[in-house]
Amino acid sequence: MGQDTLIRNVLIPTAQILAVVLILPLLIAYLQLVERKVLGFMQARLAPRRVGWHGLLQPIADAVKLLIKEDVIPEKSDRFLFTLAPIATVIPALAALAVIPFAGAPFTVFGYEVKPFITDVNVALLYLLAISSLGIYGIILGGWASNSKYSLLGALRSSAQMISYEVPLGFAIIGVMMLAGSASMVDIVEAQRKAGVWYVVPQLVGFFCYFIAAIAETNRVPFDLPEAEAELVAGFHTEYSGMKFAFFFLAEYTNMIVVSCIATILFFGGWLRPLPNVESLWWLQNGWLILLPLTLGGFAGWLFGQRTGRGLPPMIAGGGIGAAAGAILAMSDLGGLASLSLPAVSGAFWFFFKVSLFLFMYIWFRGTYPRYRYDQLMALGWKWLIPLSVANVIVTGLAIVVKGAVQGRG
């Protein structure tokens, strides 16, 4: 292997992997702060605001606390498996990120072309499904090794729930593969560009099956049965403390991010702008130039409304002015400095914007929905989602066959 191939195939991916693994915990720490803040405002309270300005240093404090917290291993537990379980949960959660593309166009660093994804394999979806199933091992090992009743029950519930919802999850993404004719993430997004429409339109049923199953897979509200604190204390991680607890936590949030990324790629066009084929809307590529003034204007309006007691109308007005100014900025293209010269930036913006919307939905659900009962959960998975997702596969197949026949004749 020449030096050039070594750099291209080993060194650049390694640098990307290290960047992902080091940035991700920080991102998750702040995602947790966002979750607490949003939940707080939804419940008309202030949420953390003691550590740092409006609680901005709270995640750092939490991380330090978890790191120096005493690690209790119950004496009746299986010590080896007890330590293995959090590691076995976090490895597949992280490894799933290997095939997630964050943007479309490559960019250049020191003369080497860097792609905005770690790798692009042609069996990416199969790999994701396989590796996310491995996460169940960590959960059931942790629950069993703890030798606590709550842990064991939580682990059993958790694994039964995760394997039940993995079936509709798998069926729901088959429709997308049939339309795109590929299981590679990059190819699926490019197929959406070619089709000129996000796959959420032809695959609306598939998307709903996928999203419901994904929430259940990640054990989040309203499917957070394994951690139903009123009955099971904390589910499978009842006995865990310190860094080992932090790993279960990290794995849960990584899984949330991964399923949001998959939903974005499969159903919402990944890094494509809305209406990717309409030429006259090219300025939407500079989405961040619109969002920034919109947010700033809205925030200024909100502050003004708070100070003067005028309520929310100034916020809406400020957001509107910001959006208009942003649209003009985006259309004038800022002398080419905006994303047209940097397609990687515009792609990454749209990708992370869509992923954030999904993560916000997760938090929104947590603030809105009550928890399911266990028999309702199982009935929803087996009696509704599985028949619905199988029907979706059949109808998609029928539509493609009929369309092919019509085109073949005409």
Partner 1 sequence: MVEYVPILIFLGVATLFPVATLVIARLLRPSVYNKTKLEAYECGVPPSGEARARYPVRFYIIAVLFVVFDVETIFLFPWAVKFKALGVFGFIEMLVFLGILLVGFAYAWKKGALEWV
CB of 52 to partner 1, least distance (A): 22
Q: Which is nearer to partner 1, 334 or 401 (CB)?
A: 401
Residue 56 or 123 with smaller CB distance to partner 1 = 123
- The number of residues making up the chain comes to 410
Give the type of residue at 43: Q
- Smallest distance from the beta carbon of 56 to partner 1, in angstroms? 23
Backbone angles phi, psi at 101, to 5 degrees: -85, 135
13 vs 127, 251, 304, 353, CA distance in Å? 18, 22, 47, 24
Cβ at position 397, least distance to partner 1 in Å = 5
Q: Which is nearer to partner 1, 49 or 65 (CB)?
A: 65
**How far is Cα 40 from Cα 16, in angstroms, rounded to an integer?**
35
**Residue number with CB closer to partner 1 (247 or 362):** 247
Count how many Cα atoms sit within 13 Å of the Cα of residue 303 in the half-sphere of its side chain: 5
Secondary structure E strands in 23-170: 107-109, 112-114
Alpha helices in 268-371 (DSSP H): 287-308, 313-332, 343-368
CA–CA distance, 120 with 128 (Å, rounded to integer):
12
CA angle 155, 156, 158 (to 5 degrees): 60
Residue 337 or 401 having the CB closest to partner 1: 401
Q: For residues 241 and 249, what is the distance between their CA atoms, to the nearest angstrom?
A: 11
Nearest residue (CB) to partner 1, 121 versus 331 = 121
The answer to whether residues 212 and 385 touch, using CB atoms and an 8 Å cutoff, is yes
Let me know: does 336 contact 286? Beta carbons within 8 Å. Answer: no
Neighbours of 362 (CB within 10 A): 21
Least Å from the CB of residue 216 to partner 1: 13
Residue 232 vs 315, nearer CB to partner 1: 232
Give me the least distance between CB of 94 and partner 1, in Å please.
Answer: 4
Question: For residues 138 and 298, which CB has a smaller minimum distance to partner 1 in the complex?
Answer: 138
Closest CA to 180 of 197, 165, 204, 205: 197
To partner 1, the closest distance from the beta carbon of 186 in angstroms equals 11
Cβ closest to partner 1, residue 100 vs residue 355 = 100
Compute the half-sphere exposure of residue 373: CA atoms within 13 Å on the CB side of its CA. 3
CB of 409 to partner 1, least distance (A): 13
Asked if residue 86 lies in contact with residue 138, where contact means CB atoms within 8 angstroms, the answer is yes
Residue 201 CB contacts under 8 Å (≥ 6 apart), including other chains:
none
Minimum distance of partner 1 from residue 45's CB (angstroms):
28
Closest approach of Cβ 126 to partner 1, in Å? Answer: 6
